[in-house]
Structure 1
Amino acid sequence: MRILFVSAVFPYPLTSGGQVRIYHLLKVLSKKHRITLFSFIRSDRERDLTGRLPFLKEIKTAYRGKRLTLPYLYRTLTGPYPLLLTSYDNARMREMLTEETAAGGYDLVHIEPFYVYPSLPRISIPLVVAEHNIEHVVYKGTADTFGFALLRPLLRWESRRIGEWEGKVLKNADAVTAVSAADAGYLRQFNPRLAVIENGVDTVKFSYRARNFPVELKTVLFFGNFLWYPNVEAVTRLVRGIWPDIRKRFPDLALRIVGNRAPRRFNRPREGINVVGVVPDIVSELHHADCLLAPFGFSGGTKYKLLESMAAGLPVITTYAGASGLQFSDNEHLKIAETPAEFLSAVATLTQRNSGWSRITGNARKLVEERYCWEAIGQKLSDLWEKTAK
């Protein structure tokens, strides 16, 4: 089939969860379908990266730029859309898509995520809308925990408006995808024609490293893209509420904070906290750390950091919010902790005999191989496309 795929982000480099997902889905699905990508970009540097996607038939881009600018803010206050959707209400993208769809030949349009909808012209071919999270719920969580209290009412207003448009867009789709059964349960109220297309992991790149337990604790890890606020909230909770007790119990233990826009304000070498930022090889970080600590207070979708850590054999200690959306069992694939005392206790088990971590990390790798492989996930989306196009 010929697919017109509209993406909110250019799927390279793989620095955010959205980029990882879209890149791997396009790579897998292009083996079976002829896909033309229309993508928003934030800089000219991204346009120069089109050669990194040789498996696509054609790539066209439109500049979006930064969201927090006066033109976008003015249009948000005077127009129909919340700020998130206003930033994708793009005349150039709409013009290109109008020309492309008018030329005909496409079997289906796929947009990912839903908030690129304002740039979509009227079309007469089937539309699939993909959700990465329940977006307005993530915004509400951001509003409830945002450090600058005066902005919380504005963020809650944005959340409500996003929720209204989220429902409208999904109702207009011929099919919808969610990344987890939990998200799907909520989204079906807007559209029953819904399939769960999970997030996945590259099990070749994130190779499994078997470990000998108990370990002599040296390094624990938190990594992610810190442009996504739930990561900021989680690492703040880790540094301020959880790490002091762990460091007191294990004074030689270090915490490494890795990723795009990692918050330098938490770089505290005397307290064992090292903010590293972007690294050339995240797999090496996973292989050399002793565990992942991921104390999310809220979130949505599923977390790539958990899938990648589980694939690499890194013990995972997280909250129920952090593991939401994954088909896991506590003490079977990872360990759940909610309070600082529970995180300390879970970390301590890494140094104890008969802790079960060899079994847990082995089970975690088996789970991602069986359920979160991109080839199998891509086939599920391909099946949905073919069913919807008919």
Structure 2
Amino acid sequence: MSETTTTTPSTDGATRGQQLSALWQDYPLIRHLVTAAIGLAVVIVVLTAVDDFQATKLTEMAYIAIAAGGLTLLTGLNGQISLGHGALMAFGAYTTALLYDDREVGTPLVVVVLASVLVTVLVGILIGIAAARLHGPYLAGATLTLAIAVPEIGKYFDQLGGDQGLRLFVPEIPQWATDIAYYLTGSDPSRSKYVAFLAWVTLIVVFILLANLASSRIGRRWAAVRDDEVAAELAGIDLTRARVSAFVVSAAAAGAAGAMFALAQRTVGPLGFSLNLSLTLLAIVVLGGLGSLTGAILLSGVLVFLPQIVMDLGSGADLDATRASQMATLTFGLVMVLVILLAPRGLMGGVRALGLRLRAARAGRRTPPATGGSSSSGAAPSPTTDPASPSSTAETAEPDDGSTPITTKKGTS
């Protein structure tokens, strides 16, 4: 006689939840697109609620995060240390300024941004090939030379505006953007909010591409080269191609960031791309967590907004502008020191480690006590109830660089 299986609604719900969870984990593109859609909605809501000054700060946060995201892949995923990404941003910014140096220019904005990215990619190819055989401090020294030389070279070309730089004309807001903004807010958008929206859309697009590259076969090759060059070469990975491709992708992100920088500042000059910018980008990557795009965004926000918040608090406490500015610098330095001390693997590495501890503690509380089959003297608990048992099928390891945890299979002993 056949048996009839009755499926309860709770079982259906659990099964459906497991399917959605598996879909979320197994298809990174879906996960990234959903996250991007949520992020875009949040950006629209925030831009409708802030003033023009705060919108300008959001734009600054966006283009810094774009450049830091590209550097995250280069340094965190491929292991190449670059101190010259501020100079790569300069190539994208100057290209945008040259294409928008006339109010009558009708070149579409998308074309201008893509042209800026293309120019920076070409520069990245040249630098990547030249630096492909350099490692560690030698690569850092070569890119440091780039960071120092590019702004100085820009001063000696009249076509680049010399010391004063180039002033560009931001294109008019398209009518469709005005109509959408009026429909959502009841008022026409300001130019500052329009540029902020463009910068954040660019950030979302760039981060979708970077996140998918990181989880793809290309990203795994980059990580293999970072972890062990000899093993990667024995596995058939072309080390030079892997390094150059990582540098080119990182340069493309820097070019997009430079284009957004030019639109936000409306003036592109050598002072905007000093060595300080390159060092700041590297600090964001390290403190946010090597290999963590989320950490790059969060630390960019801290870099942009924390000093302003502290300065406002200092002004409210009757401090003069100089002391308030010094207090802001001191506070940011203290935050950096605290991150280094409390989260050596970066902000997101610390958050991930904390999550693993909480998960392990919760799993330990849920483990039932051993019952039955024990002798009068008391038997040891079954190995299957021990999370650290050798019979566990998988073990999650947290890399030292704060990147995605690695799951390694273990056999039953």
- TM-score after normalising by structure 2: 0.25
Q: Rg bigger for which structure?
A: 2
- TM-score after normalising by structure 1: 0.26
Q: Which has the higher helix share?
A: 2
Q: Which has the higher strand share?
A: 1
